[in-house]
Structure 1
């Protein structure tokens, strides 16, 4: 049965909003590219600025803190001004943040790169807070999880593009050990570090040009207004009302741990491959590339399976396999551990959008407030990645993979409790 708080969406709307839908699906691609370029930056900055694993984790800490801080303001912009304003704002911030990589590279200051990443993340908070609920509103609520998964299929394609850009245009393949660096004279060593820092500027400037072009295009395209105008109903305007929905709160907790697991696994895949399989940084990037191909494949296959299996039960199955594979990576290590780590990406594929769709199901006019709360949970990518960096510095990168393993237990628990809840409510 259709949620009466959502506006009807007809075939005429599909024709009218075709350009908006194309742009919206493109957003999933664009933020996937930004998210996974961070995994390349971690490897590059570790070398260019001689950082520890915990030191490199600030890339993700700052990035996902930006999501956390801007998610609710983004929701307010969507509610007050609509999808279009939020999407244009998000793309503009994304483009500005990418442009800031150029002065950061000229100054060769790590903290300036972190500032640029924060601005990019602020833009992505607007995009995710807009695009995810928009896709769930455009059609039958009973197929919202499947529809969002199809739209999210563009996300791993963007992630793969980001890894390819990083592998071929950022990572140099030059890896000097401490002895080789010590043997260099000061000017040669400085030149090496500066070259590695400068490598990140060009790709990000081009990304900025593309993203700002999308912002201009979005400004001239009609977007659905959605359910924002319904906020004058008795249940519509109170953000605190979302805390009365236990399934939403469960989704927020599950998303915190899921995003932490995903970001942590991918952030340290290159490092894990170097430590466990003796890979070079570029070979490690290839392992990450395979992970993302599996992730994209899993998204398409998993979404197709949702036509026959309940999304919440598929979530439980995928979380279980992810838990087993992450445990192998965190305990056995070696080449087998790397294979398990890479394979886990296939089963992570449907988890984010499925948790999201289950969490905001039947929220009505609170849907966008609930969406912003789930987007805030992306801060898990900062907290758990930092924890993994600390564990890696004090023990090993292998043992750090037990953090994602524990995270998948939380996702599995959410899937089981949600399955029972949905069975009771029909």
Structure 2
């Protein structure tokens, strides 16, 4: 990419490449942990919909709470990184993440959906700090020529978390015990309340364990030496600006494409269990097993996609995958039984390379505007908050028809297809 020669990495004196290994291993663990947070939502949404007696659009505020935090915290997270450095920023992100996880206990005890959403927002703030810090740190932590390899390696553990989180969610959060609205209305209030409290309680142990692991890792980080790596402009001070970065037409389209991609991914995973039950007729355990398979395919897809990028240009691979994703969404909307289940699982494979590919195409050739351009692309993650609300509203307005909701990610993939065919092109002046 043309921007790669704009900066040089400055490493503190006395740091050898071998000393990067241990810090890199712990940074990779962060990719896995925030992958866990996002992918547990796939089980959390259907479970809290039942435990808190929600409709679809209300349940989608689970995703909204996390991804809206990205929008709010994107700029503050950059300021924290600039002031505190990599190590302290990562510790701050871990602690905020843990505080949100522990808040699940009072939320479940009080059966308060607002408290759940507050906990998720705090988790989202912690994740924003971690992603803002860990992504660039993994890129520069070692030989510059291997930066792409390090990022892809770290990101593969983010994909691995999708499978692990699906397993934990299926085995420890989801339950097959459910009642219709009529059955709940016929119950004595004390009995229905006991049922809702029992359902909500199942989220406590997984999030207590998650929060405890986060605190332990934060403590370990305090005692590990992380080389403080800085970048400086080779040609002097960077001239890029936040608003000025949008003069690059392909960056603007990348921001739009990323907004819709994150929205599409969240829609697919958030409604996965619902769709498997409604369209394929599966019980929750079987649906959960397909969710695990989806996570595995997402991980495999990232490795396969990375290999294919050695032979196929990024925009062509992105366009091809987007077209296939559109077809799979059509099957998800109109299909029934196993074919619909296979289509949803397949989406994991073909979505796997979209985020990093859009990101890379968006900042290609923008020089000193790379950093503000990256900030715009991080802020576009807010699509994960907005787009699922549209999907929830569509499903509610169609008598809780989950399959029709997949027309929303279908539209998202159309936007990404346009970006891969035309929007990615750099406008030469």
TM-score with structure 2 setting the length: 0.91
1:411 corresponds in structure 2 to: 416
2:397 corresponds in structure 1 to: 394
CA distance in 2, matches of 1:410, 1:84: 38
CA distance in 1, matches of 2:151, 2:325: 21
The question of whether the paired residues in 1 share the 8 Å contact of 2:11 and 2:227 is answered with no
> In 2 relative to 1, CA 113–211 (structure 1 residues): closer, same or farther, beyond 3 Å?
same
CA distance in 1, matches of 2:364, 2:141: 13
Specify which of 316, 319, 342 is matched with residue 316 of structure 1: 319
1:207 corresponds in structure 2 to: 210
Distance apart, 1:37 and its partner CA: 0.8
> In 2 relative to 1, CA 240–231 (structure 1 residues): closer, same or farther, beyond 3 Å?
farther
The question of whether the paired residues in 2 share the 8 Å contact of 1:231 and 1:237 is answered with no
CA distance in 2, matches of 1:370, 1:226: 21
Q: Secondary structure at the match of 1:234?
A: coil
The question of whether the paired residues in 2 share the 8 Å contact of 1:20 and 1:221 is answered with yes
Q: Secondary structure at the match of 1:6?
A: strand
The question of whether the paired residues in 1 share the 8 Å contact of 2:280 and 2:340 is answered with no
Q: Does 1:331 align with 2:334?
A: yes
Distance apart, 1:183 and its partner CA: 4.1
Q: Secondary structure at the match of 1:319?
A: helix
CA distance in 1, matches of 2:376, 2:228: 21
> In 2 relative to 1, CA 83–368 (structure 1 residues): closer, same or farther, beyond 3 Å?
farther
Aligned 1:44-83 pairs, distance under 5 A: 44-83=47-86
Deviation string, structure 1 residues 195-246 (Cα, Å, up to 9, x no partner):
0011111110110011122222223334354445559943257433422333
Distance apart, 1:259 and its partner CA: 0.4
1:195 corresponds in structure 2 to: 198
Structure 1, 375-384 or 173-182: larger mean CA deviation: 173-182
1:153 corresponds in structure 2 to: 156
> In 2 relative to 1, CA 306–142 (structure 1 residues): closer, same or farther, beyond 3 Å?
farther
Distance apart, 1:175 and its partner CA: 2.0
The question of whether the paired residues in 2 share the 8 Å contact of 1:6 and 1:226 is answered with no
> In 2 relative to 1, CA 78–5 (structure 1 residues): closer, same or farther, beyond 3 Å?
same
Aligned 1:26-425 pairs, distance under 5 A: 26-138=29-141, 147-228=150-231, 230=233, 233-236=236-239, 238-363=241-366, 366-395=369-398, 396-417=401-422, 420-421=425-426
Distance apart, 1:19 and its partner CA: 2.0
Structure 1, 57-66 or 245-254: larger mean CA deviation: 245-254
Deviation string, structure 1 residues 101-138 (Cα, Å, up to 9, x no partner):
11111211110000000000000011111222333445
Distance apart, 1:21 and its partner CA: 1.2
CA distance in 2, matches of 1:24, 1:231: 27
The question of whether the paired residues in 1 share the 8 Å contact of 2:156 and 2:303 is answered with yes
> In 2 relative to 1, CA 280–169 (structure 1 residues): closer, same or farther, beyond 3 Å?
same
Q: Does 1:3 align with 2:1?
A: no
CA distance in 2, matches of 1:219, 1:295: 33
Count of aligned pairs between the two proteins: 424
Q: Secondary structure at the match of 1:69?
A: helix
Give unpaired runs (5+ residues) of structure 1: none
The question of whether the paired residues in 1 share the 8 Å contact of 2:279 and 2:335 is answered with no
Q: Secondary structure at the match of 2:175?
A: coil
Deviation string, structure 1 residues 348-384 (Cα, Å, up to 9, x no partner):
0111122223323455554443322212111111111
Give unpaired runs (5+ residues) of structure 2: none
> In 2 relative to 1, CA 419–106 (structure 1 residues): closer, same or farther, beyond 3 Å?
closer
TM-score with structure 1 setting the length: 0.91
CA distance in 2, matches of 1:302, 1:224: 31
> In 2 relative to 1, CA 371–226 (structure 1 residues): closer, same or farther, beyond 3 Å?
farther
CA distance in 1, matches of 2:373, 2:234: 14
Structure 1, 360-369 or 242-251: larger mean CA deviation: 360-369
CA distance in 2, matches of 1:263, 1:114: 16
> In 2 relative to 1, CA 365–78 (structure 1 residues): closer, same or farther, beyond 3 Å?
farther
The question of whether the paired residues in 1 share the 8 Å contact of 2:89 and 2:133 is answered with yes
